[in-house]
Amino acid sequence: KNYAKLLDAYSQFSPSPLSIKKFIDFGLNACETTSYIFLRKELPVRLANIMKEIALLPENLLRMPSVNAVHQWYMTSFREILEFEKMDDITPRNLRNFCDSIVKIRNRHSDVVETMAQGVIELKESHDVDQQTEHSIQYFLDRFYMSRISIRMLINQHTLLFGGQLERAPGPTQSKYIGCIDPHCNLVCVIKDAYENARFLCDQYYLDSPELIIEQHAINELKAESDVRIVYVPSHLYHMLFELFKNSMRAVMEYHGQNEQYPPIRLTISKGKEDVCLKLSDRGGGIPRSLHDQLFKYMYSTAPQPSKSDAHTVPLAGYGYGLPISRLYARYFHGDLVIMSCEGHGTDAVIYMKALSNEANELLPIFNKTTSKFYRTGYPIGDWTNQATSLNSRQISMQC
Ligand code: W6P
């Protein structure tokens, strides 16, 4: 069909990553027509690139009703955007329709994460999922959600800049925002906001919560009174911090008995030439090293919950998709999120961000031959002994 050809055509183009600086520069000389011309090509390119990967998913997964629904949403949205590529003249009416159209697309895709998670549960309940399949799904979901973050960023920038009075970025300094970017994002403000909201949940469930101690360091400037500021998307940072605070608070509350003093969560802000780092240190007893890799796995966190019905009464329960998606937010502008734990003591989580907005480039998945090769051949079977196999071989030889 015509549609498959167009999908092929658009997936041949690589997405064009923008830096935070480019988003800002563009926002300052905001021209709706330029933005429109860029997006009506770039959005279908980004959609097509990830849709080609959806098509490579294990068949079992692709057949799950939820995954199929998501696939349909993408196809519908791809078609809708392409309508604008056909138009030659650019009228105010086109521009208005385009805005309406991308808002509609954003709404259509608002539950993609939950729906894909449901699809993974459906797969688990109906099939045995081998290591290979699990690995492919992990690889796919990281790329898929990153693509989604980037597409929503583009849509948000356009609709916030040109969508009229109705939409405004949240926060007290709304007038200074450029779309959803705060050029003077006060880290301490975002940290306190995330902490207070996580603490509210913690207090509800545990009737108490650990304190927060913030410490700031910077290479030059920075007097004790001035807070570190960066150019960033506060909502992304909030998302990461809220997730990390919830995890730390739960660990602290569970590790220390009632009537004990709860050790505070320490947060160190540092600003260097290249990186801005936020290190959250809890004394929640840590996690074993064997669990570390599981923290970022979608399949691990989607293990069918034993008690779905009372999920709402346990506000801090489960790792969910929170950590893997938080790490994607960090990586989206070439930062990172790493966790290092010492079992028996506590856990450090570090959010890395680029200090320079021109180095904070979008990190985007590109569909190409390597990608499809990955889905075919997957990852190499281990060529190191592991604990399980060495135990097995000993058991076998002892049985003999
Ligand atoms: C823990 C486990 C964890 C994950 C992520 C962030 C903080 C923490 N603390 O004990």
Does residue 92 surpass a pLDDT of 90? yes
The one catalytic residue among 158, 236, 246, 354 = 246
Residues 349-388: pLDDT tens digits?
A: 999 999 999 999 999 999 987 888 888 776 666 788 876 6
Any ligand 1 atom below 6 A from CB of 347: yes
Q: List the structure tokens of 41.
A: 């090509």
- pLDDT number for residue 313: 44
Any ligand 1 atom below 6 A from CB of 284: yes
Amino acid at 73: W
- pLDDT number for residue 173: 46
Residues 15-61: pLDDT tens digits?
A: 999 999 999 999 999 899 999 999 999 999 999 999 999 999 999 99
275-282/265-271 β-pairing:
antiparallel
Residues 202-260: pLDDT tens digits?
A: 999 999 999 999 999 887 665 656 889 999 999 999 999 999 999 999 999 999 988 78
Q: List the structure tokens of 70.
A: 């998501």
Residues 340-350: pLDDT tens digits?
A: 999 999 999 99
Q: Is 362 in the active site?
A: no
Q: Is 345 in the active site?
A: no
Q: Is 243 in the active site?
A: yes
